[in-house]
Amino acid sequence: LEEPILFELDNPGACGVDLDEPEEFAPRLGNFARAGRIGLPSVSEPEVVRHFVRLSSKNYSIDAGLYPLGSCTMKHNPRLNEKMARLPGLGDVHPLQPVKTVQGALELMHELSHWLKELTGMPAVALSPKAGAHGELCGMMAIRAALIARGEDETRSRVLVPESAHGTNPATAALLGYKVDAIPATKEGRVDLEAFKAKLGPDVAAIMLTNPNTCGLFERDIIDIADAVHEAGAYFYCDGANFNAIVGRVRPGDLGVDAMHINLHKTFSTPHGGGGPGAGPVVFSEALAPFAPLPYVVHDKDGFRLVETEGDAKADGTNPFGRMVAFHGQMGMFVRALAYMMSHGSDGLRQVAEDAVLNANYVLASLKEDFSAPFEGPCMHEALFDDRFLKGTGVETLDFAKAMIDEGYHPMTMYFPLVVHGAMLIEPTETESKQSVDLFIATMKDLARAAKSNDKDRFTGAPYMAPRRRLDETGAARKPVLRWAPPAPKQAAE
């Protein structure tokens, strides 16, 4: 069934709300009263509900099936978290209402900070960044602020980023004016320690490293890297996107990390929501802690208070680099993440990492004969394959991914990381059962065999069974249509 665009449901006279016209009053809009029609459609509540219910049925979701997007960590989203975020005492408070009326909200932020600091072994945290990439920006700003304080901002202009990094890493460094210098990978999928050391120098501001890295591997030399970075007078930014692989077992603070953001959705199960909202708190080492941005929460004998201006910070003895957000960050996500942490506890969170790694290795071990794994040894939370096993079949990684859709699965992450050809990055997460993973493995093996036995059409034409066949992305980009427009001649839309 085709679902019209909302605007095509327009039926002037219908309305999805009942609002009484205000009693007569003397408007005080000055010369700014809006004139003319905006163009918004008129639709009743039953039609609106049905429209969005029908749209929803065109989406794949973690609640419907395994969602093996490597690096994206699609795990179960507990409904308890949703319920907690909707408590009036947490959801219905204003960021600027008097501090004495939000003591519980500040306590919650303080408690979340405590958990994040304990889990990472780092002494400070900035909660405010609105997403992972925003957290990266925050971390790198703190690094630059520290360099400014040391008077080395002018001289340190280079940031080292491995080839396998998330695109946000170089984008963030570039935004701050840094020159991005790529570190090559070894054939084992890790930072080439020698090449890295060779790139170090007095002009290096920082290294940005993901660990576990985007190949799903733990950087064995991480402590040596950290030591070398510090010796060179630079800072170690760790992309914490994959923190879920080690939470409770390894503390970034013990590895020498100076700043790391944490994607609350990946590690602590806040919902992805079709692309957000995220939340990207950043933990800091002693060296960077004083530069953590405004605002932050302090607990003293008078209760909880917000340090939200430079004046407050001065009184508090810190030296914040500035402000990332208007208010205090993604409170709604803080509630959910804390509910998740409290539910698991120290024991459950350690189990999270273990089960995530176990599930990924089980996939790796089960598929490595039919697929081709570029690197040796156990992986962490995600299993990486390349497209060598498809050689000569005429099937490419993209085709393979689309064929998975017809089997009822969301494709894995593909063509990332860039360091292997036709990459397929599979992250089952810790919330998949063995029964579920077994079924997935069987399906993947079946597909691999089909690809190798010349069943090419099954792949290149896929998907066949989805709400849509392959979409013309090139056409979309060439002549972008970014909004609905009424049909040109005056006639009813259908």
Partner 1 sequence: MRYLPLTENDRREMLGVIGAKSVDELFRDVPERARREGLVDLPRRQGELEVERMLGRMAAKNTPAASVPFFVGAGAYRHHVPAAVDHLIQRSEFLTSYTPYQPEITQGTLQYLFEFQTQVAMITGMEVANASMYDGATGCGEAVLMAHRVTKRRKAVLSGTLHPQYAAVVQNLSDFADYELEVMPPALPGQAEDILAHIHDDISCVVVQTPGFFGELHDLRPIAEAAHAKGALLIAVVPEILSLGAVTPPGEMGADIVVGEGQSIGNGLNFGGPYVGLFATREKYMRQMPGRLCGETVDADGNRGFVLTLSTREQHIRREKATSNICTNSGLCCLAFTIHMSLLGEEGYKRLARINHAAAVKLAERLAKVPGVEILNQAFFNEFTMRLPKPAAEVVDALVDKGVIGGLPASRLLPGVAEVEDLLIVASTEINTEADRAAYEAALKEVL
- Considering only residues 58 through 87, tell me which ones interact with a second copy, judged by CB under 8 A: 61, 63-65, 76, 78-79
Least distance from a second copy to the Cβ atom of residue 65, Å: 7
Would you count residue 18 as binding a second copy (CB under 8 A)? Answer: yes
Binders of partner 1 among residues 465 to 484 (CB under 8 A) are: 466-473, 475-477, 480-484
- Residue 289 near residue 245, CB atoms below 8 Å: no
Would you count residue 54 as binding a second copy (CB under 8 A)? Answer: yes
Least distance from a second copy to the Cβ atom of residue 369, Å: 23
Amino acid identity, position 157: S
d(CA 14, CA 439): 48
Least distance from partner 1 to the Cβ atom of residue 382, Å: 13
Binders of partner 1 among residues 137 to 196 (CB under 8 A) are: 137, 141, 144, 166-168, 170-177, 180
Would you count residue 487 as binding partner 1 (CB under 8 A)? Answer: no
Q: What letter does residue 137 receive in the DSSP assignment?
A: H
- 248's tokens: 């409770």
Q: Which option in partner 1, a second copy, none does residue 193 bind, with CB closer than 5 to 8 A by kind?
A: none
Residue 291's nearest CA partner among 142, 189, 179, 470 is 142
- Residue 280 near residue 268, CB atoms below 8 Å: no
Site string for partner 1, 419-458 (x = CB under 8 A): -----------xxxxx-x----------------------
Q: Which option in partner 1, a second copy, none does residue 55 bind, with CB closer than 5 to 8 A by kind?
A: partner 1
Residues binding a second copy: what is the number (CB under 8 A)? Answer: 29
Q: Which option in partner 1, a second copy, none does residue 1 bind, with CB closer than 5 to 8 A by kind?
A: a second copy
Would you count residue 376 as binding partner 1 (CB under 8 A)? Answer: no
d(CA 395, CA 462): 11
Q: Which option in a second copy, partner 1, none does residue 307 bind, with CB closer than 5 to 8 A by kind?
A: none
Rg for the chain (alpha carbons), in Å?
25
Least distance from a second copy to the Cβ atom of residue 170, Å: 35
Q: Which option in partner 1, a second copy, none does residue 154 bind, with CB closer than 5 to 8 A by kind?
A: none
Provide the 10 A C-beta neighbour count for residue 24.
5
Give me the residues paired with residue 306 across strands: 297
Q: Which option in partner 1, a second copy, none does residue 134 bind, with CB closer than 5 to 8 A by kind?
A: partner 1
Near a second copy by CB under 8 A: residue from 5, 15, 39, 45:
45
Q: Which option in a second copy, partner 1, none does residue 287 bind, with CB closer than 5 to 8 A by kind?
A: none
Amino acid identity, position 276: G
Residue 329's nearest CA partner among 363, 294, 361, 364 is 294
Site string for partner 1, 269-288 (x = CB under 8 A): x-xxxxxxxxx---------
d(CA 33, CA 16): 24
73 versus 128: smaller Cβ distance to a second copy: 73
Angle at 361 (CA atoms; ends 356, 364), nearest 5 degrees: 130
Would you count residue 25 as binding partner 1 (CB under 8 A)? Answer: yes
Q: Which option in partner 1, a second copy, none does residue 195 bind, with CB closer than 5 to 8 A by kind?
A: none
CB neighbour burial string for 448-487, b if at least 16 within 10 angstroms, e if fewer: bebbeeeeeebbeebbeeeeeeeeeeeeeeeeeeeeeeee
Least distance from partner 1 to the Cβ atom of residue 384, Å: 14
Would you count residue 101 as binding a second copy (CB under 8 A)? Answer: no
Least distance from a second copy to the Cβ atom of residue 356, Å: 13
Binders of partner 1 among residues 320 to 359 (CB under 8 A) are: 321-333, 335, 338-339, 341-352, 354-355, 357-359
Q: Which option in partner 1, a second copy, none does residue 69 bind, with CB closer than 5 to 8 A by kind?
A: partner 1
Least distance from a second copy to the Cβ atom of residue 75, Å: 8
Distance, C-alpha 169 to centroid of its chain? 13
Long-range contact set of residues 178-182: C-beta below 8 Å, sequence gap at least 24:
178/140, 178/205, 178/206
92 versus 302: smaller Cβ distance to partner 1: 92
- Tokens 């932020």 correspond to 109
- 245's tokens: 């692989």
- Residue 251 near residue 120, CB atoms below 8 Å: yes
What residues contact 442, with CB distance under 8 A and at least 6 apart?
none
Would you count residue 50 as binding a second copy (CB under 8 A)? Answer: yes
36 versus 392: smaller Cβ distance to partner 1: 36
Candidates 197-205, 383-391, 408-416, 450-458; binding stretch for partner 1 (CB under 8 A)? 408-416
d(CA 284, CA 23): 55
Q: What letter does residue 293 receive in the DSSP assignment?
A: P
Least distance from partner 1 to the Cβ atom of residue 297, Å: 12
d(CA 137, CA 261): 9
Indicate the burial class of 29 (C-beta count within 10 angstroms; 0-12, 13-18, 19 or more): exposed
Amino acid identity, position 315: A
d(CA 172, CA 202): 21
Binders of a second copy among residues 365 to 424 (CB under 8 A) are: 408
Would you count residue 14 as binding a second copy (CB under 8 A)? Answer: yes
Residues that bind a second copy (CB under 8 A): 1, 9, 11, 14, 18, 44-47, 49-50, 53-54, 57, 61, 63-65, 76, 78-79, 343, 408, 431-436
